Structure formats: C-alpha cells, structure tokens
Structure 1
Amino acid sequence: MKLAVTPSLSWLEDPGVFKVNRLEAHSDHRYYSDMAKAEAGAPMDMRYSLNGSWKFSYAPNPASRVEPFFAESYNCSAWDSIQVPGHIQLQGFGRPQYVNTMYPWDGLSDVRPPHIPQEHNPVGSYVKEFRLPANLEDGPLYISFQGVESAFYVWLNGEFVGYAEDSFTPSEFDLTPYVRTGKNKLAVEVYQRSTGGWLEDQDFWRFSGIFRDVYLYTVPKQHIRDLAVLAELDDTYTQGSLSVQMQLLDTPQENVRARIELKDKAGQVRLSTEGGFSGRELTLSGDIADVLTWSAENPYLYSLCISLLDAQGKLIEAIVQKAGFRRFELKNKLMCINGKRIVFKGVNRHEFNCRTGRTITREDMLWDIRTLKRSNINAVRTSHYPNQTLWYELCDEYGIYVIDEMNLETHGSWQKMGAVEPSWNIPGNDPNWHDIVLDRAESMLERDKNHPSILIWSCGNESYAGQVILDVANWFRSRDNSRLVHYEGVFYDRNYNATSDMESRMYAKPADIEEYLNSNPDKPYLSCEYMHAMGNSVGGMHKYTELENKYPMYQGGFIWDYIDQSIITKDRYGREYFAYGGDFQDRPTDYSFCGNGIVYADRQWTPKMQEVKFLYQNYKLEPGKTGIRLINESLFAGTGHLALEYRLYREGELLGAWTTDVNAAPQSEVLVPVELPQADGNPGEYSIQASLLLKDAELWAEAGYEIAFGESVFVVQEEAEAEQPAGQLKVVEGDVQIGVLGEGFTVLFSKQAGSLVSLNIHGREMIAAPPAPLFWRAATDNDKGTNLGYNAGCWYAASLSRKCVEVSLAQEEGAVTVSFDYRFSIHSGLSVQTAYTVYGDGKVRVHTRYNGAAGLPDLPILALSFKMPADYDQTEWYAMGPEENYIDRAYGARLGVFSRSVQELPSRYLVPQESGNRTGVRRVKITDKSGVGLQISAPATAPVECNLSPYTAFELEHASHAFELPVVHYTVVTVAGRQMGVGGDDSWGAPVYKEYTIPAEQSLEYEFFISSVGTEEK
C-alpha cells in the first residue's frame, strides 16, 4: 500500500522525524530457498546488488541542489558518475574534513541543536536505473541501504518512498507499490547535515554519501523476518539451552511450521524439534548435554538449521544461523565468560581504508581480524558505531569479544577544548531527543543480537550523561538480559551511575585506577579507552597490564586505537602521501589527531605492535638455564596446540634450537626442564629465548607462528680486559688541528670546531659532520601534548650551539686522548666533557660525561650525534629489537642480531618525529653496500641507545609531513647514554613516568667505541 507522504526539508532539523516509511529493524540472518545453499553459505539467491556506478550531482548546500531530479521526466544522462558504495568527498566532490570533538561547522555557522547550518550542508543527488531480475519478480520488493551518511530521501519512479537517519545501521523500505516491469528509476538525495549529524560527532573524518552496500531483495511467500537465537549455559557451564524465537513477516493464511536442527561441526544433529506458528510468532527450544562452549580462545560454533515448511511439509525457506553457547554475566562483582573472570585485551577500531575511508572491503576485514588474533588482541570495541554485519560474523568465527557500540556521540555539545561545559548538551534529559536516540539502540540490537561474539551493548560514546541515555541502557537490559551494558559518560554525572554495569573510564592513570580498585567498589573496572597510541607512543603500557593479576576487578581495556585514519592523496608534484586533517583545506580541523593507530593506514604494523603483542600474551614464558617457567593465563585453552621452542645464543649467534611438547592446563603454570650446552670456559653474553608456536595452521596464522615469547640474558665469566691494541701512533699538533696518525688511518680533531672532524680509514672519510652533544629529540606527538617545546626548549637551543672552553691532549703508550670541554648558555653550571681515545689499531673510545645543573627541565636525550655520508646506508645490529624500542616500551623487544637499511629505520608516523631508536645496543655496524663502514660498540654491562636515520632531529622537528623532509645526503648517527621514554597514557598532557625521564641536575656518563669494518680487504 502506498503511503501518501510529502517529503520536507524541515525533517532535517526535527529530532522527532528520523524515519519515514522505514521498515522496522530485524536480525541480519540470511535466508534461501534451498537448505544445501544455506549450509554452504552461498550468495543469497533473493538479493540483487545495486552497487556500482550511479549518476550523481553534487551541491554545496540545499539551495543549489537540483530539486526535481527524481522525476521520471528529468534526464540525468549528462550527470557525473559516482561509485556506490563510497564517500562523496573521496570521489572528487567537496572535500573531506577531519575534526575530533568540535562540530564541523564550529565558527562557520552559529547554530544550536536541533538546527543545522543551511549554507554548509552538502547534498548528493544519486540516480540508479535498474531492471528487475527474474528471481525478484514474483514476490514483494524491498531495498536495503546498509549505510548512508547522515540523512536521505528515496524516490522510485518519481514517487516518494521514504526517509531515514542513522548513518551506521541499515535503512530498508518497501518498493512493492512503486516498482514496475522494465526500467525503474531509483533516486536518492543525501544530506550531510541533519539532526542525526548532531548525534554523530565522533572523532573521525566527516564524509557523506551512500558508503555501504545497497541491494534489492525479495522474500518467499512466508518469511521469517526476525530471528532471535539464545544459546545459553547452565550453572555448571557444561549443559546448553537453546531458544529460537521466530517472527514471520505476515500472519500466515495456512498452517506454517518450522523445524530446527542444531548441528555440530561434524554435521551431527544435537537437537531437533519443530512446531507451528501462533499468528506470526513461534519459539522453539531444547537442551544440549555436554555442549562445546564459545569463547575467544575456543570459538566453537554450531549450525542452527531452520526450515520453514508449508502445510504440506514443503520447504518454503531455509536459514542457517551460527550459534555459540556462552554465558556472560556479572558474578561476585566480576565480569565472567563461561564462569571465568575475563580480561579484555582490547583495541578500539574504526572502519577505515586509506583510499576509501569508511567504505571497507571483506579483504580489509579479514586482514584486520587476522591481525587482532596474531597480536594477542582478544577484544574490540566498535568505536563508535555499529559495523558491517560481516565484521561480527568474523568475530564469531575467529574468536573476538565485542563491545557493540550504538551510533551516538555528542562530544562537542558538552566538552570544549577539554573543559566540561554541558550547558547545551544533548541528549541529556531532553525528551525531544529520546526517540531518535532509542531508535539507534533498537536498530543496532535487533540487527546484531544473534552474534555470540557480542558480550556488551554500549550506549554510545562521550555524550555526557542523562535520563535519555539511562533509558537506553534500561531498554537494552529489558530486551536482552544475556549481555551487559556499557557507558563511560556517567563518570561526569554520578546521578546516572546505573547507566553502566561496569566502571568505565577513559585515559585514567594506573594510580587513579588503583585508587578506585582499593575503594571497595561495587562495579568491575574497564578502560574503554587507554594507551592513546598517537605517533610514537604506547610507552608504559605494562603499568596497566600489571594490574590484571593484582586486582581481580581490573578487567582490562581497549587501546585507542587500531588504525591510523589517514587518507592517501597527492602533493603538488603528483606524489602520493598520507594526508591528515587540514591537508584538504578543510577548516575547522584537528589536523593530525587522527593518527593514533597501532596499525598504519595502509594496514602495515607499526613498531608499537611489538609491545602490544607481548603484553597481551595469554602465555608467559620465563626461561632459565635448567628450565622454562610457563604460566598459562588462558581461561579455556591448554597448550596441546602449541610447541615450545627454545634457543640459545651467544653474542647474538645461535648456538642451538630445540622443540618440545608442553602440557599446561588453563590457569596453571609448569616448569619445563631443559638441557642446554655448557658454556663453561667460553665467556660472553648468552641469551635464552623461548617461544610458543602453533603446531598447525589456524584461520589467522600459519603453522609455526609465534604467539608467545620470553627471554633471559646472562653473562658467563666476563672476559678479562683486552690488551691494548698494538700499533704505532703519530701525533701532529698543529695550530688548529690535532692529528693522530696510524697505519691505514688518520684521525683529526679541530680546536676551532671543538670536535672530532675526520676519521679517514684507508682513504675513506667516514665523518661528514662532526660529533656534537645532543639534548633534543624531534618532538613526538606525546611530547607536543606535554608542551615539551615550551617547557624544555632550552635543550633545543643547547643542542644547536655550545662553547668549547678547553681542548686537551694526553699521550700514553699506544693511546692518544683528545678531550673537549663544553659550556652552554642555558645555565652557567652545565658542562659536558667528551674524550676521544685513539688506539694503535684505529679504534676510538668515546667517553662523555654530563655534569648537570639544578633548575633546568628534564633532558629529552643525552647523546652524541654526527653525520656519515649517505652511502653508508646499511646497518646490522646486536641490540634490543627488531622493531624500535624505548626505555618505557621495550618489554616486547628481544636481544638479537638484525639488519635494516637506514631508510627503513625511521617509522612512518603520520607526522615526522623521533623514531627508530633501539635500546640495549651492544654493537651496530653502519656500512655501504660493499660492507665498508664503522661499528659502534659498547659493553653488554653498559649498553647504549642508538638511532640511525637519514635525517637530523631538527629536520624531523620542522617537517609536518614526510614529503617536507630534505633529500637524503647523510646517515645521521646518534648514540645516547639515555633517552627519555615516549609515554602514552594520553597525548594531551600525560607525562612520561618519572623513572623513564632524565633529571637535569644529575651527573651522567657513558662511553662507546668506534671502529672500522670491512676496510682491511678493500
């Protein structure tokens, strides 16, 4: 039946109008005409995709749009084309805009909710012509828009069909009254701004358009429109109970029955029952003994086969729904999965692709789910909106716990520049916003309710607190008592504390969390966002994971966030680069604040993942000389699927590797005895590394993949001090230069430059710019958040200029020492002495002493930095690695030998900054491609930190994008006695923990050796 409704633009700013003729939300199950196809998961035979090329017209505001375009008589053939699904702004129309908390029209339009800016409201007019395929001709016809941002009107053949808001849940309409044989004209008008836009102030790129799938579908003569599967466990967590609620689209005119069969993975039927409908409703249920449970560790899924039968017993419709038996509950103030206390080792995840924005593919999702599993991440929060259905299916199948978050964030209505100011907060207690907000909750739950991976419903994100959100939480509970409800915003108004079943906070410091946990709280604790992973970050993460075993009511957290939201575009020379806010001339903007991923925007791991993977391990390995302690913190998984491999190294050289089976039950620990070769009489540094490897391939990783790691390092019978190298040295002290000459090498020191200026080995000059004390690192995003430049900028100045007040020369048998004494203008009491001792074989010992001064800010770094020619661009390390690490982010690093080109050592953070550092450096070779170059070395008992880069700290400091960095001419060698940590609690003021800083008033000294490599044969 056609409903006579006249569309109106007034709906766009009326919170009471958010759906017109939109069908009610329902489960996302698939249905078929044949059970074999259903069990095979074949493409649905009653669907027809409208994805692809559509005709398109763009208007910057409603006043300039083409109003009558939907009419049958209007010819759109000359229009542009656009791809669906896809964002308007990534296909050449308008521009993307990135903002965080403020509304995108802030400063441009003086509006308050529910009104919207009329002059800044882009409109996309879409037209798609189609002919109905034969398999859709006989039944009713519906259209499903899986995601349209943020409000849209629909016409078919010139007649108005409906209107909807909510960008991230499906909007479906009945086309039956309007469709006809032959060609049909579908017209869709999409508005970027609406009342829905006030509720979608998430920290993300602001796009618009039809960005998820669009398809037509029909249904059989009788159709299960909604399906609710409840697969629960009894109090012993061994016996299953299954309840299947079915609701037909229409009341049947004849006796219609349904049969359900629950099959295990072997195809065995574990439960079978059937019954007839009473009106449109039918519930079938039964019990299953010795059921296999679902968890992230063992995501066992049964196949629920549903046959809808007519009066003669003939199949009308076939459905196969995956079912996982699990029980999630609050038990003794703890969140428990199948009776065991859960720890969420989670991450927040935006749907994102660096070329297509929030239009992501199956391949993107498969890469993501495998990355989560390979990185020991067991949970994801769908920040901050419901995802595509496929994502939940993958989480069911692979085993990921999900917080499913409804599409609600009104951040800019109550927080301005970090200050809480809720004078016009929505939805708050305003009843005008009640229905539109509740509709978003209903749309999410009704679609997603059958996914066992979803443990928690979330009432949205950062929308303050109030009665409207409390009503949403209570609706969740009344509709689904098998899950808990989450909402963080009650932290700001405890009058609405009942909104959330758990204490959820963002970016609370470990000390704050402990204070809460020590206060005899009523609710378990969860960090819905922590470890703000912006740029070079995730330092100090161990302080959070260490709480897991200390406090039972600490139940983990979700890192912010998974992937950099960066868009690939081109610079003025046509070269692609990763762009962020402001790069599209978008204003207002929050610039690079979109770069917070532990994964780069092009889906490559950042070095931060090394730390995350280690700290999220369920299995802890502590190797020793006679045994390996294995602690299995898994709740349900043993170790039968894993092999224990252990390796012995001396000075980075592998001496042997062995593999054994290990049997450690969940929540237990064992000591695995090992026999290692005796190291007596062979002095040196040894390391034992232990790994747990997959015996067989999993969905997410190949056989042999390492899921857990542990290491111990020990020194056997330190070597006696080496004899002084042989070789004659000649000292030539000129008026300006001091030369130390030996066989095949010349070392020059300049009294004028105040440093070593030449290291010439067999005619090759290794020094392109002389060593100088360095106290400054290229500020990280976290450094900028703590105003490092303002608070500690004196160290920048001290690094650029110094005064050498004394040069001294000392000679002894077989060694010559030249020392430089530096003073700095930032403080009269500050001094640095660097002494270079040249030995007869050409090796140079570099000893630096820093004499601190009170009253100065902490040092970012204490180092010596020099340049080599860029031809020396190959490196081999014996250090902590293989990825970059810092003193507060080194738990996931291991001692070993690894190689990289200098160009590969800096990390590809969105904004150039300090990166590529390695701690625990025993030696590193910097050579050209023929193997000639220098080696930096330090004793194992006093290793140094090193950073090798094509760029200086100052070049990095002043580049906002990678393309702003200079053409490479040098290899910059920075050897540090100590560098401060990178921090990571947040990126807007959280300091690096004190134990990872460098107090300015202390005295420090360190030394290393420079020697040549590969020159003897050249």
Structure 2
Amino acid sequence: MRYYEERSPGEGVRPARAFLRSDAPTLSLNGTWAFRLSERADVPADFVDRDYDDSGWDRLPVPSHWQLHGYGAPAYTNVNYPFPVDPPFVPDENPTGDYRLRFEVPDAFAGDAVLRFEGVDSCLRVWVNGDYVGVSLGSRLPAEFDVGPLLRPGSDNVLAVRVHQWSSGSYLEDQDMWWLSGIFRDVTLVARPPVGAIDDVFVHADYDSVTGAGRLRVDVPGTDARVTVPELGIVALGGETVTIERVEAWSAEIPRLYDCVVASASEHVTLRIGFRRVVVEDGLLQVNGHRVQLHGVNRHEFDPDTGRTVSEAVMRRDIELMKAHNVNAVRTSHYPPHPRFLELCDELGLYVIDECDLETHGFFPLEWRRNPSDDPDWEHALVDRMRRMVERDKNHPSVILWSLGNESGSGRNLGAMAAWARERDPSRPLHYEHDWTCRDVDVYSRMYASHEEVDAIGRGEEAPLDDPELDARRRRMPFLLCEYAHAMGNGPGGLADYQALFERHPRCQGGFVWEWIDHGIRDTARGFFAYGGDFGEPLHDGNFVADGLLFPDRTPSPGLVELKKVFEPVRIGAGTDGGLRIENRFMFRDLSHLTFVWFVEEEGAPVVAGELRVGALPAGAVAELPLPDELPPVSRETWLTVRAVLAVDAPWAPAGHEVAWGQLPVAAAPARAVRRASDPFALAEFDPRTGVLTRLGSLPLIGPRLDVWRAPTDNDEGYHGPEQLAPLWRAAGLDRMRHRTISMARVGDALVVRTRVAPAASDIGLLATYTWTAEDGALVLALAVVPDRSWDFPLPRLGVRFAVPSALEGVEWFGRGPGEAYPDSRLAARVGRFSSAVADLQTPYLLPQENGSRTEVRWATLGGRLRIEGRAHFELTVRPWTSEALAAARHPPDLVPDPDWLWVNADVAQQGLGSASCGPGVLPRYRLDLAASGLALAFSLI
C-alpha cells in the first residue's frame, strides 16, 4: 500500500504536545520556496538530494494553497467526495506538490531541534539534507519531527517536502469547504535544550464560584520546573497544587488572564492562565457556577485571497467583529483553528467548542457503508486526531467543550476518541452531533432542528430513543444547536424566534449560527467573489459555500446586524408604569462599563437628547426608570430611542460602540385630516387602453401595476430544507404574470380600473381593482386584490411595481431602517428618517437575489421630487434593475443599471425569509398566504 493511503496518521512524528511560547531559539521557515506540481503522486523523489538543481522550478509562498497561485484550481463540494469512494485508496491522478527550501541554521540549533508544521493539506513527506524524516496526515493539526542530528549549523540546509492533494486522510476531511492543498500554515524550526527541555505543559486552573477561590496545578512532565504567577504571589514546583483564597475568574464577558512562567534550568515557557470551571450539572452546561447561554457562530478559517491561510490580523478582526455583534461563542467548524486564534479567544473573550479535524459526510449518500467512524482499521487515525487537538489546545481557558468532529455518522471509533479525551482531560464536557443517542458525549446537540422541535426538547417532550437507558440519560443533558439559522444569501429568518426558545427553556442553552463568513474567492479578472462551479469543477455545490454572516471581504451582512440585535446582552423597553425597563442579561458583569444615551425624534427629526443614569446594575438584574423629564410636547409621530454604548475603549471596540438599543413610542401620528377630492385626470395621465398611470404632472412613470414576484432567495430555493418555494412559484408562473384589463370607468371623482393578473397555462389568478382619486394635489391609489380560484401556496410578495426616471436617484424615507428588513428579520431596524443613494440600498449577495426592502415605511421621497405616502405602512424597495434581471444574474457584475428607469416596489407585505436553504422554512406567522388584501398610496410632486 502506498504510504499516503495508509490508515495510520504517519510515521516519524513526535508525540503530540501543547502549543507553547518558549524562549528557546526558533527559526521561521515561512517565505518563498521552490515549487513543482505534478499531476500524479508516483513521480520520482529525486528532488530530495541536497545538490538537486531547482533553479528551473517556480516559486511559491509558504504558507499558502497552490490552487490560489495558479496551480490547478479550487473545487467546492459540500457532501460528496471529489474522487471515487474506495477507502483508503485515492486516484492515480493525485496532484502532488514538491517543495524545496534552502536555509541557514544558526549555531543555537546544534543538537536537538524540532521541525514543526502547523498545517499541511493533505499528506506530507519530509526530508532534511537528503535524509528521510517522516510522514504525517491530519491537515489541520500540527506535526513535529526530530531533525537535530540532520541539521548542519553554519552552512546551507535543504528542506524537501512532498505534499499530496489526496490521501487516506482526505476521507476524514470532507468538511463543506473548498478543496485546497499545500503547506497552508506556519513552518518553524525550534531548538531544544539538551537537558531541562520543557516539552509539554498542562495547566489545571480551577475556580470555586461559591468561595471565589482558585486552585492551580501545572504539570510539566519530563523535567524539574518552577511555576510562578507574580500577580498572585505563586511560586511552586511543577505538579504542585496551590490554592489561592481569591482569584478573578475567566469568562467570555470578563476574560481575566494571569501571566505565568514555567521555568527549568534551560528553558522558560510563558502562559496566560484563566481560572474557570466548566461542568454539566443539574442538566445544565455551567461555567463558574452559572448556566451559560451560547450566542454562537460557526467559523471556518477563510480569507478571500489566501483561503485557509489566515493572518493574525484576520483572526483578530474576526473576533473583534464577533464581540462587536454580541457573539460570545464560536465553534471551530470543523477542525482546530490556527493556534493563535485560540490565544486571541482567551484574550478577548469567547467560549470555544474546539472541533476535531474529522468529517466523513461523503459516506452519507452511500448509507454510511465503510464509514471510517465504525471501522476498527481507522481507530488509530481517529484517536490520533483527537489526541493532537486536545494536547495542542488543552491550556486555553476559552475552550469549554471538545468536539469529536462533525457529520461522521456513528460508530466505535468515536467512542474510542471520547474515552481517550475523558481520560486525558476530564475538566471539559464532550460534544458531537451526528449520533443522537448521545452515547459518547455530555451535551445533546442537533443541527437545523425546527423551532417546534426545539420547543419540544425544551419541554422534555422530544421523541424518545429506543433504548430507555440512553433516552433517560439524554433527557438529563443540556441542549445545544451546534448549527442553526443557515445564513445563506438573504437571511436567515426566525432568529428572534429561536432566541425566545433559548430564554424560555433552561435546558436550551443557545447555539451556533451557520456560519461566520461567505467562502467566496476573489476573482479580480471577473470582478466577483467566485463560488462552486466558477472554476470549471465537474462536481460542485454551487453557491452553497456562500452561507455566512460576513461577505468575503468581511463586510457584515444584514443577517449579522439582525443577529447582533437578537443577541443583545441588555434589553431596553417599556416599563410597567409607563417608564423604561433595563434588563441586564450578562451572566457575570454589571452595567458599569456602559453609558446609556437617549434621544427623541419627531417624524425622524431630532428634538432633544440626554443621558440616563443606570449605574452598576448587577448581572441578571432589572431596573425600572422613569422617562426623561426633558420630553417636549410634540404634534407628529415621535419616538424615544435609548442606546447602551461602551463607556470606555474595549480591546475589541472603541468607546461609543453601541452594544444595545431600544425604542418606545412617545406620540402616535395624528389622525389624517379630511381632504378635498378633485379630478385625478387634472394631475395625471393614464393609458386609455389599460388604465395604467403614465405620467404624474410632468414626471413620466411606468405603472404602478400589481406585482407578486421576487428574485428568489437561497432560502426560497430550499436546497436542503423542508420547503422549496421558488420551484413551486416558477412552476405556477409567478415569474411570468400577465395583466388583462377588464374595465376602466369614471365613477364620480374616481377612475376605477379592474384587471385580472394571471400566469400562462393556469386558471388561477388575482383580481386587482385600482381606484384613483385626487386629494389636495396628491394622486391617491387604493388597490384591492382578491384571489380568483384557490391558491395553495404563499406569495413571494404582494404590492405594486412602477418605474420612475433614473434621475430620481436619492431616496429618503420615514420608517424602519437603516438596513433591509423582512417579516422574520426586522428586529434590527429602528424607526427613523433615513436617506440613501439607490446603489447603497442594494445588498450584494454573492448570488444576486431579493434584497433591499425597507419596512414599515410611512413616506418616502425619490430624487427630492416624488413623494410616496402610505395610508398605512408599506414595504419599499428601489432598484436600478428589475426583479427579472435580478433573478437572472449569477454574480453582481451581471446586474447592469437601467439607463432610463428606477424600479420601485411598494408592497403590502413580503413572504418571510426562513432558513430553508438548510433548515426550517418560514414560520406560519411570517407566511404571505393569499387573502383579500389592499394597499393605499398617495403620490405627489415636491
């Protein structure tokens, strides 16, 4: 058997150990390496000789992926393996990258030295100065080799590495991401002292939430060492337990760290220690004695230019954005991240589910035949992956659960992984989702469970398991959604409804939205972020790789803005006696780090502002405050807005950053005055054949006409959800509706136009009656819609669409904003007066789709010339292209603005978003089921 098809994790690799910061000399081998790509794995290994001439080779940066530098191409699959499923074998056509680096070694490396690879996809074989060193598999896990005797200090050394794109390890790494190859994380040479080397450290820093005491033991195997924590006055021996009467605990809210030094006679290691205790007790996941609620996201490592090679700046930016959007937890889907990421989680404060580099999802379509999770021949490889993760990351207080992996079915090898982890580190509970018996874990985890099912689980009324003992055990477990609310395209909807369940049921302790970032690869030549199929892959899953809360350039999507509001740790709302209610939903910290500012706006115009005195409201407490004394008399619709902002700079955001906000109505809009009616033909022109408005005063128009179509969202398509609405809509012909004028008549001072709107090849339709009147210089439309025959599916939207000249470019509105909002994703939209260029109203989803709706609009102006006033609130969308053009586009550059017209939708309502791209559909209360409906709008020139 070829070495890269062996089921073992490799050979010649040192035992797994913690990632340590040491004063031992290190030499980074990152940089420019000689590189050669072959299409097969069986090319001669002649390049390993020291004197081999590589001057004709290309040059490639390390770390990087070779596909992102023009060698082969990226390929994306979600579930299916891009090679025949014949474990552990891979095709002969196996792209293989050969790397060579010539480097000088300082004299400090004379003696023992370790060569460390942080991540290589998928199998590497190593030679130093022509001598074979070893083989390693496990792409996102470290591999270390002893190379000291092979080095030549003071002269040139040659490191030769062969990397295979496919290996037996590829069967364990089917993780819903781009298949990208190469040395993609750091390569380092580490000198080891001949005696007294600190090869490993295991920190045990426990916290007693009742007494506030800490207990510290630092195990340092293999050498005598001294442990010092100067801030706590600790000086102890390695392995000695020290009790501290009072320590400050670590949590994601208050990430308190203590600097620690572990010193031997020849080496010093620096650590940052966090005292905390994680247990599953009384059926709850607890941190430091408190039930935690995980406001989490799943995070793949990704950069649109460098793939899974991510810089420290990118890692820090991710965490800053998470903290700024009230995210307190991250699941490292579906592999351990770069070790620096976990150090930043310790420092800035995030709870982490650290997940093993394991996913065998491609066996699911094969009914799990030959799945490595249940094949004893794979046990060593799977346990090794768990061992390497736990050993590397065991000292991080941010890591509160270990995860065995993802979507790998069930089987004996998962049990072996769990048994090893429990033996090595009993201080952290275990997680794994894909075996719902929860046989090997400590928390009950599911992905994409519906709201209804989560509610049932919270009540303890979930469907029972066949095994009564396992069923009873699972019912005593806390419940997590390791994935939910699929953030693909426009969405997800229903976030607030999930959050309500997490708060209603103690057992339901939150979850992790899928996922953090769209994996679009920047294509500068074509001007878009590429997704599956854009590189000519014969097998791919399209834009399913673009399912994140961030766009690839790390611009927050509307979904992330909504999530921030849903996850707010402070609730601001109406009090019981007409005042304000402030609720501190932090678990550990009071509100002294926040300033509460307020302002009053009358029809969106500022009136008065001030500051509330909330003080150090304790965690979990509620305060009732009176309304500000400064509220003035008002005559139009008026709102009070209260914002909770950072009082001082935080490590992740500056002072003034908004953490939470709330709004209360102060005065309702006054009753509409009775207006004088007049002849609509004095204000406007109508097509004499169809009754369609063609001109308002001197302003040409097209429409308005009844419109029920929207460019389907990814969630409308329902790729992996229970509800595929877009195919149903297209089959029903909603994208090709036709209009027939039944009658057009003057009735008193009104023009009444009756129409039937219907698709070809169907007898269903809509009867729409337009009644036009004129009132005090405004042209008023009253639209009544009733179904003709039975409709057994919801509509995408219901309203009117019209076009205005493209010169009317700017939009101002009074309603909710500033961002887009939909029925089940509107919590983040506040009432106010907003303005925007039309281009800025568009949301550039990687696959163009419905976007940009502003909700609860009272009135809007276009180009400072046309005013549209709702006689009830309406939904407003303004685009430089039609919905049909939006639906036809595959990438944003496909959308070309209409040179003559802007296209405007004024809707009664739209269908909700849901999460059916991979999850539940739209909840019943957000469905746009057809019934008799109406819309009233007034048009006037300014």
Q: Is the pair's TM-score, using the shorter chain for normalization, greater than 0.5?
A: yes
- What amino acid sits opposite 1:527 in the alignment? L
Per-residue deviation at 1:582? 0.5
Alignment of 1:184-333 (within 5 A): 184-221=157-194, 222-234=196-208, 236=210, 238-248=212-222, 257-263=224-230, 268-274=231-237, 282-309=238-265, 316-333=266-283
Per-residue deviation at 1:823? 4.2
Compared CA separation, residues 113 and 575, structure 1 to 2 (3 A): closer
Per-residue deviation at 1:285? 2.2
State whether structure 2 residue 897 is matched by structure 1 residue 943.
Answer: no
Greater alpha carbon shift after TM alignment, 711-720 vs 190-199 = 711-720
**In the alignment, what sits opposite 1:336?**
286
State whether structure 2 residue 447 is matched by structure 1 residue 506.
Answer: yes
- What amino acid sits opposite 1:475 in the alignment? W
Equivalent in 33, 46, 71 of residue 49 of structure 2 = 71
Compared CA separation, residues 427 and 964, structure 1 to 2 (3 A): same
Compared CA separation, residues 614 and 902, structure 1 to 2 (3 A): same
State whether structure 2 residue 84 is matched by structure 1 residue 131.
Answer: no
Per-residue deviation at 1:615? 0.8
Per-residue deviation at 1:70? 1.2
State whether structure 2 residue 58 is matched by structure 1 residue 80.
Answer: yes
**In the alignment, what sits opposite 1:634?**
586
Report the Cα distance in structure 1 between the residues aligned to 2:766 and 2:485, rounded to whole angstroms. 35
Report the Cα distance in structure 1 between the residues aligned to 2:612 and 2:193, rounded to whole angstroms. 57
**In the alignment, what sits opposite 1:990?**
920
Deviations 1:381-408 (A, max 9, x none): 0000000111101100111000000000
Contact 1:749 1:818 in 2 (8 A): no
Report the Cα distance in structure 2 between the residues aligned to 1:244 and 1:526, rounded to whole angstroms. 32
Contact 1:645 1:691 in 2 (8 A): yes
Alignment of 1:369-768 (within 5 A): 369-415=319-365, 421-428=367-374, 430-491=375-436, 494=437, 497-519=438-460, 521-570=475-524, 574-623=525-574, 626-663=578-615, 664-677=617-630, 680=633, 682-716=634-668, 718-724=670-676, 740-741=681-682, 747-761=684-698, 765-767=699-701
The two structures, once aligned, show a CA RMSD in angstroms of 1.9
Per-residue deviation at 1:802? 1.1
Task: For residue 600 of structure 2, give the secondary structure of its aligned residue in structure 1.
Answer: strand
Report the Cα distance in structure 2 between the residues aligned to 1:943 and 1:795, rounded to whole angstroms. 29
**In the alignment, what sits opposite 1:802?**
739
Compared CA separation, residues 706 and 26, structure 1 to 2 (3 A): same
Deviations 1:199-252 (A, max 9, x none): 00000000110000111110233211000011002362510000000023xx6x
Report the Cα distance in structure 1 between the residues aligned to 2:650 and 2:226, rounded to whole angstroms. 33
**In the alignment, what sits opposite 1:31?**
22
Task: For residue 419 of structure 2, give the secondary structure of its aligned residue in structure 1.
Answer: helix
Per-residue deviation at 1:575? 3.9
Per-residue deviation at 1:655? 1.2
Contact 1:775 1:796 in 2 (8 A): no
Contact 2:450 2:919 in 1 (8 A): no
Task: For residue 603 of structure 1, give the secondary structure of its aligned residue in structure 2.
Answer: coil
Per-residue deviation at 1:587? 2.0
**Aligned residue pairs, count:** 917
**In the alignment, what sits opposite 1:20?**
11
Report the Cα distance in structure 2 between the residues aligned to 1:210 and 1:1012, rounded to whole angstroms. 63
Task: For residue 149 of structure 2, give the secondary structure of its aligned residue in structure 1.
Answer: coil
Deviations 1:836-887 (A, max 9, x none): 223452x221221111244222211101111122222211121111111001
Report the Cα distance in structure 2 between the residues aligned to 1:705 and 1:242, rounded to whole angstroms. 36
Per-residue deviation at 1:343? 0.5
Contact 1:693 1:704 in 2 (8 A): yes
Report the Cα distance in structure 2 between the residues aligned to 1:270 and 1:343, rounded to whole angstroms. 34
Task: For residue 477 of structure 1, give the secondary structure of its aligned residue in structure 2.
Answer: helix
Compared CA separation, residues 640 and 678, structure 1 to 2 (3 A): closer
Report the Cα distance in structure 1 between the residues aligned to 2:808 and 2:533, rounded to whole angstroms. 37
Per-residue deviation at 1:956? 0.9
Larger radius of gyration: 1
Identity of aligned pairs, percent?
Answer: 34
Report the Cα distance in structure 1 between the residues aligned to 2:337 and 2:166, rounded to whole angstroms. 21
Contact 1:626 1:675 in 2 (8 A): no
Structure 2 unmatched ranges of 5 or more: 462-474
Contact 1:145 1:213 in 2 (8 A): yes
Per-residue deviation at 1:483? 0.6
- What amino acid sits opposite 2:924 in the alignment? K
Compared CA separation, residues 295 and 235, structure 1 to 2 (3 A): closer
Contact 2:881 2:897 in 1 (8 A): no
Equivalent in 782, 785, 791 of residue 847 of structure 1 = 782
Per-residue deviation at 1:723? 3.4
**In the alignment, what sits opposite 1:39?**
none
Per-residue deviation at 1:717? 7.0
Alignment of 1:836-915 (within 5 A): 836-841=772-777, 843-856=778-791, 857-915=793-851
Task: For residue 225 of structure 2, give the secondary structure of its aligned residue in structure 1.
Answer: strand
Contact 1:122 1:193 in 2 (8 A): yes
Per-residue deviation at 1:677? 4.4
Compared CA separation, residues 210 and 678, structure 1 to 2 (3 A): closer
**In the alignment, what sits opposite 1:277?**
none
**In the alignment, what sits opposite 1:36?**
none
Compared CA separation, residues 535 and 829, structure 1 to 2 (3 A): closer
Report the Cα distance in structure 2 between the residues aligned to 1:968 and 1:512, rounded to whole angstroms. 46
**In the alignment, what sits opposite 2:130?**
158
Structure 1 unmatched ranges of 5 or more: 1-8, 34-45, 252-256, 275-281, 310-315, 732-739, 1014-1018
Report the Cα distance in structure 2 between the residues aligned to 1:393 and 1:626, rounded to whole angstroms. 46
Report the Cα distance in structure 2 between the residues aligned to 1:810 and 1:853, rounded to whole angstroms. 24
State whether structure 2 residue 704 is matched by structure 1 residue 771.
Answer: yes
Per-residue deviation at 1:979? 0.6
Deviations 1:269-294 (A, max 9, x none): 432223xxxxxxx4122011111000
Equivalent in 885, 888, 905 of residue 955 of structure 1 = 885
Per-residue deviation at 1:758? 1.7
- What amino acid sits opposite 1:1003 in the alignment? A
Report the Cα distance in structure 1 between the residues aligned to 2:884 and 2:735, rounded to whole angstroms. 13
Deviations 1:945-1002 (A, max 9, x none): 0111112111111111112223432311100011111112x414732111111222x1
State whether structure 2 residue 755 is matched by structure 1 residue 821.
Answer: yes
Compared CA separation, residues 513 and 989, structure 1 to 2 (3 A): closer
**In the alignment, what sits opposite 1:42?**
none
Contact 1:766 1:933 in 2 (8 A): no
- What amino acid sits opposite 1:238 in the alignment? G
Task: For residue 547 of structure 1, give the secondary structure of its aligned residue in structure 2.
Answer: helix
Equivalent in 79, 90, 106 of residue 116 of structure 1 = 90
Contact 1:566 1:578 in 2 (8 A): yes
Equivalent in 853, 859, 878 of residue 917 of structure 1 = 853
Per-residue deviation at 1:679? 5.4
Contact 1:11 1:18 in 2 (8 A): no
TM-score (norm 2): 0.95
Per-residue deviation at 1:719? 3.4
